[in-house]
Amino acid sequence: MEYKLLSSLYYKDINQYNKLYTTRFTNENTYHFNIKINDNEAFCCLDSQIFSLCDKISKADKYIYALSSQLPSAAITQFAAKSLVDEIILTNDIEGVYSTRKEINLILNDVKKRNSRKRFEGLVAKYKMLSRTEISLNNCEDIRRIYDELVLSEVVEDDPDNMPDGAIFRKEIAEVTTSTQKVIHKGLYPEEKITDYMEQSLKILNNEDIHILIRIAIFHYLFGYIHPFYDGNGRTSRFISSYLLSKNYEYIIGYRLSYTIKENISDYYEAFKICNNPKSKGDLTPFVIMFLKIINKSFENLLDALYKRKENLEKYFSIVSKIKGIDKDLSYVLLQGALFSNLGIDKKDLCNTLEISESTLSKRLKAIAKLGYLIVKKNGRVNHYSFNIDKL
């Protein structure tokens, strides 16, 4: 059953509108938050859809874990790298920031060196850390630190006036506008209010009495509502949501969120609009439901992508195994490069996976190439190798 919007009742039946608001606000299954949206206390009803979506996400996470354990570790590593690149491109794309796979892949190759400043280096480095790093989210200084490392250099490069000019956040008014410059939301103001709301939002995020998925959704909404920076808010809030998903579920899911948001961008923006409406009276349930649907879809898409690749890996390897004189061990890894990666696998990873020297690998790659089954892609100075599936 669809969750009835308070705002849709306002003009139809004011008495029913007031009655429904009171019923929801006073319900024993309602979370109340010490924060106001348009002068109304924010709350979230534990609607049946929320319970159902949380259950679906939990089950999907277990399926992904089981499926991942059946796949070679190299395949999972390659797929994670592919998903990471796609996620960064799409989180930029949502904000109208142009980036390419080649650009992001080059940074991934050089991210440990950090010799020269490249566009999106901070964004790539931060996303690459999702699976293995604890990121503090306890106070406003933590939010600013994430923002500085993630997007500050790109924000300032695009427009120096968007440099945060407050003690932590911005000190002037900021507006969210459409492509036609229509104002659809005004961020909180002044900075004291931004700081106060962010502190309360972080308390909600760290309240373990609330289900983690609901906390992620509520914080994501509140970050957008507060709009603490002049620019880069969307990329920062999506990164935080991705980090929290990676921390609490299979880590690859953190590389899939922006992809699903992009697919459902109209619903995403509409949910912000609904909850920002004063007639919603602080009811954040519609946003939570929408965001959980996006997370659930991310899990479903990931499960489907891994399952199809596993099927194809088995199918193609059964064909390869019948080719006379082919190196089956190397071909199996190269097939993974073709199915699970954007580029393929470089020599270092091939050597580590097969536990052979680089000279031995070179000889075995030449043998595959002679048979016409080797694909080589160059990324910067590094060659990446995969199996020519089309030739099969």
Q: What is the pLDDT of residues 303-328, one digit of tens each?
A: 999 999 999 999 999 999 999 999 99
Which pLDDT does position 91 carry in this prediction?
86
Which pLDDT does position 131 carry in this prediction?
66
**Which of 338, 263, 324 lies closest to 82 in space, CA to CA?**
338
Give me the residue spans of the domains in the chain: 33-304, 321-391
**Which of 308, 309, 294, 306 lies closest to 57 in space, CA to CA?**
294
Average pLDDT, the chain: 92
Structure confidence by residue, pLDDT tens digits, 158-208: 999 999 999 999 999 998 876 667 778 889 999 999 999 999 999 999 999
**Which of 48, 51, 53, 57 lies closest to 301 in space, CA to CA?**
57
Q: Does domain 321-391 have CATH number 3.40.50.300?
A: no
pLDDT at 92 over 50: yes
CATH class, range 33-304? mainly alpha
Which pLDDT does position 209 carry in this prediction?
96
Task: Return the amino acid letter for 31.
Answer: Y
The pTM of this model reads: 0.92
Percent of the chain with pLDDT over 90: 78
Structure confidence by residue, pLDDT tens digits, 218-262: 999 999 999 999 999 999 999 999 999 999 999 999 999 999 999
pLDDT at 338 over 60: yes
Which pLDDT does position 115 carry in this prediction?
46
Percent of the chain with pLDDT over 70: 95
